[in-house]
Amino acid sequence: MAELCWPSNTELNEMREKVSEMANVKKEEVRVVVSPYRICPLGAHIDHQGGTVLAMTIDKGILLGFTPSRSNECVLRSGQFQGEVKFRVDEIQRPWQTTKTKHDNSAENSSEAREQCNWGRYARGAVYALQSRGHNISKGIIGYIRGSEGLDSSGLSSSAAVGVAYLLALEHANDLEISPTENIEYDRLIENEYLGLKNGIMDQSAILLSFHGCLMCMNCKTKEYKLIHRPKVQEYKEGEQPKATKMLLALSGLKQALTTNPGYNKRVAECKEAARILLEASGNYKAEPILSNVAPEVYEAHKCKLEPDHAKRAEHYFSENMRVMKGIEAWETGSLEDFGILIAASGRSSIQNYECGSEPLIQLYEILLRAPGVLGARFSGAGFRGCCIALVEEALATEAASFVRKEYLKVQPELASHISRDTAVLVCGSGDCARVI
């Protein structure tokens, strides 16, 4: 198995030097949280319905250098955003949506409100989550945070990676022993309650539970998970060779934030309404209206009762859940061509049935499918912005990346011109779980 190449010693030293200067401490006293970005090859848009998802982390993500402060104050700086965030961890944190509404009609917004509208809200959200579960947070942190150089992380769940990073840093500073499964719940509190985003738990789970070279398979209804390994070389049949693969990240240049786009939450509501109709049609009025509570045979018997939009959302859910089951088998047996076909089918269903994606993302998806060595592609993340991912043969990865860059520039010259050529299409490897170094 290939060794992890991220973060490099150079990156770790840079983070330690930044915090050492900020806090006036020795470099040896600085810890670094490594919180990777995640991709979801299969299981698109079904985590919030209790479906089963397949995810993995990549060798790119968030680094948070930190040291415990000598007081209850947090002092934070960012490599991507201007300004300095300061707040006390003994302040009672309230959901951002509530605070935002409260200050919307005020002529003079407080510094806290302005700060929360920017990058400081994730650190406050981490304090909110820990406070909500009764943890005594008495020490703040002095920290410096940044994402992978030159990479627009839209569609890679950078928000969950940031939330997890702050949770791990605050817990380390306050000597709290919190399990990965507990931190999945705490990051869900940041996303759902504090920021008001109605997503599921796949992002946090992948970031906290993944293992290098494996797929993380999670049942989002029961929270049960397992790691899916590829076959070892000696387990292949005689004459067969394991295919070395990489992941391509192709950036679209679209950067609209999820929390300001009603499309995501609207589709979650449509899925729940479809579930309610199907459950009631079968005589079940008690179950929570999510599609994982609808048996496949109930869906087949009563799907004719759904109006077109609800029917499409339900069709995506049930077909995607089946693709996940087939994907597990393909990965376990090393049938990566079959795995790629399933990824491409997931992409088509996201466009046709879940109806997410904009013209640039759909064009990028179609270009990836034509690229040399690409076995399958789909949107990454919600599909309203960000990037596409593709499974590609390692030997052809560089050629494929060059092809995608050139073809996307032809169809979207304006968007493509705003993306650095060096990071427009990246070749990535498998990552590991979030951790403190």
Q: Which two tokens stand for residue 119?
A: 């990058």
Quote the CA–CA distance of 434 and 61 in Å, as a whole number. 10
pTM above 0.75, yes or no: yes
Tell me the average pLDDT across 409-430.
92
**What burial letters (b/e) apply to 144-170, b meaning 16+ CB within 10 Å?**
bbbbbeebbbbbbbbbbbbbbbbbbbb
The answer to whether 38 and 204 have CB atoms below 8 angstroms apart is no
The answer to whether 387 and 252 have CB atoms below 8 angstroms apart is yes
Output the DSSP codes for 296-348.
HHHHHHHGGGS-HHHHHHHHHHHHHHHHHHHHHHHHHHT-HHHHHHHHHHHHH
Q: Is the pLDDT of residue 242 over 80?
A: no
Omega before 68 within 30 of 0, i.e. cis:
no
The answer to whether 151 and 179 have CB atoms below 8 angstroms apart is no
The answer to whether 116 and 100 have CB atoms below 8 angstroms apart is yes
| Average pLDDT across the chain, whole number | 89
Helix, coil or strand: residue 390: strand
Indicate the DSSP class of residue 158.
Answer: H
The answer to whether 272 and 294 have CB atoms below 8 angstroms apart is no
**Single-letter code of the amino acid located at 259:** T
Q: Is the pLDDT of residue 103 over 70?
A: no
Q: Which of 55, 119, 24, 180 is closest to 431 using CA atoms?
A: 55
Quote the CA–CA distance of 54 and 230 in Å, as a whole number. 13
The residues assigned a catalytic role are 203
For residue 257, count other CB atoms closer than 10 A to its CB. 11
Tell me the average pLDDT across 167-193.
96
The more confident residue out of 48 and 242 is 48
Any idea which residue has 């504090």 for tokens?
Answer: 194
Q: Which two tokens stand for residue 326?
A: 């087939």
Top-ranked range on mean pLDDT: pick from 88-97, 225-234, 399-408: 399-408
Quote the CA–CA distance of 402 and 405 in Å, as a whole number. 5
The more confident residue out of 380 and 378 is 378
Query: Can you give the pLDDT at residue 99?
Result: 52
For residue 390, count other CB atoms closer than 10 A to its CB. 33
Quote the CA–CA distance of 112 and 430 in Å, as a whole number. 38
The answer to whether 186 and 208 have CB atoms below 8 angstroms apart is no
Output the DSSP codes for 91-113.
SPP--HHHHHHHHHT-SS--HHH
Helix, coil or strand: residue 24: coil
Radius of gyration from C-alpha coordinates of the chain: 22
Confidence at 13, pLDDT banded by 50, 70, 90:
very high
Q: Find the DSSP H helices in 174-244.
A: 180-188, 202-209
Quote the CA–CA distance of 15 and 34 in Å, as a whole number. 11
The answer to whether 158 and 381 have CB atoms below 8 angstroms apart is no
Query: Can you give the pLDDT at residue 383?
Result: 67
Region for residue 277 given its phi and psi (left: phi exceeds 0; alpha: psi -120 to 50; beta: otherwise):
alpha
Confidence at 152, pLDDT banded by 50, 70, 90:
low
Quote the CA–CA distance of 57 and 230 in Å, as a whole number. 15
pLDDT tens, position by position, 29-58: 999 999 999 999 999 999 899 999 999 999
Residue 194 CA: distances (Å) to CA of 64, 116, 163, 298, 427: 21, 11, 11, 36, 34
Quote the CA–CA distance of 318 and 297 in Å, as a whole number. 11
**Single-letter code of the amino acid located at 56:** M
The answer to whether 421 and 250 have CB atoms below 8 angstroms apart is no
Query: Can you give the pLDDT at residue 148?
Result: 87
Q: Is the pLDDT of residue 111 over 60?
A: no
Rounded percentage of the chain residues whose pLDDT exceeds 90: 73
